[in-house]
């Protein structure tokens, strides 16, 4: 990947994987040493296995009705890249519909010749 659009497609494909329940595919996107920090820094998850499990757990109790992402900004610096974007999601959980929006920051780095997400942070939108 050398152009911003390639990174955007990478992130969109990653989001599509967890929304579609293809959790094993997340290994193609998440680095083994990924760190994910939830909204407000309340939850911190370290490692690919734990990260994938967090997606599994969310989708086991939820049904995504709508997920939209927009306003991508890509910054590439050598063997690292940062992808920032807005997202909005509507999901059903326990018979209740929820809606949220936020801002995502993903840091990608080269791992064994391929781009992988090494850091994910969600901020309130």
Least confident span in 2-6, 102-106, 113-117: 2-6
- Asked whether 18 and 9 are in contact (CB, 8 A), the reply is no
| Whether the predicted pLDDT of 65 surpasses 90 | yes
29 three-state secondary structure: coil
Instruction: pLDDT band for 98, please (50, 70, 90 cuts).
Output: very high
Q: Model pTM greater than 0.85?
A: yes
CATH number of the domain where residue 75 is located: 3.10.450.50
The gap from C-alpha 13 to its chain's centroid, in whole angstroms, comes to: 10
Residue 41, pLDDT score? 67
**Mean pLDDT along residues 6-19:** 96
Number of domains, the chain: 1
Q: Which domain holds residue 109?
A: 4-124
Give the whole-angstrom CA distance, residue 39 versus residue 19. Answer: 19
Residue 27, pLDDT score? 97
Q: Where are the beta strands (DSSP E) in the chain?
A: 30-37, 44-46, 62-77, 80-93, 96-111, 114-124
| Whether the predicted pLDDT of 3 surpasses 70 | no
Q: In what order do the strands lie in the sheet with 80-93?
A: 44-46, 30-37, 114-124, 96-111, 80-93, 62-77
């Amino acid at each position: 990947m050398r152009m911003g659009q390639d990174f955007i497609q990478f992130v969109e494909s990653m989001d599509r994987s967890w929304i579609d329940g293809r959790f094993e595919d997340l290994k193609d996107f998440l680095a083994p040493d990924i760190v994910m920090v939830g909204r407000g820094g309340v939850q911190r998850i370290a490692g690919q296995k734990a990260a994938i499990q967090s997606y599994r757990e969310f989708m086991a109790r939820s049904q995504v009705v709508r997920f939209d992402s927009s306003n991508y900004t890509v910054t590439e610096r050598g063997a690292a890249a940062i992808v920032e974007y807005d997202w909005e999601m509507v999901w059903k959980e326990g018979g209740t519909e929820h809606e949220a929006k936020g801002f995502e920051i993903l840091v990608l780095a080269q791992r064994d010749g391929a781009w992988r997400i090494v850091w994910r942070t969600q901020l309130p939108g």
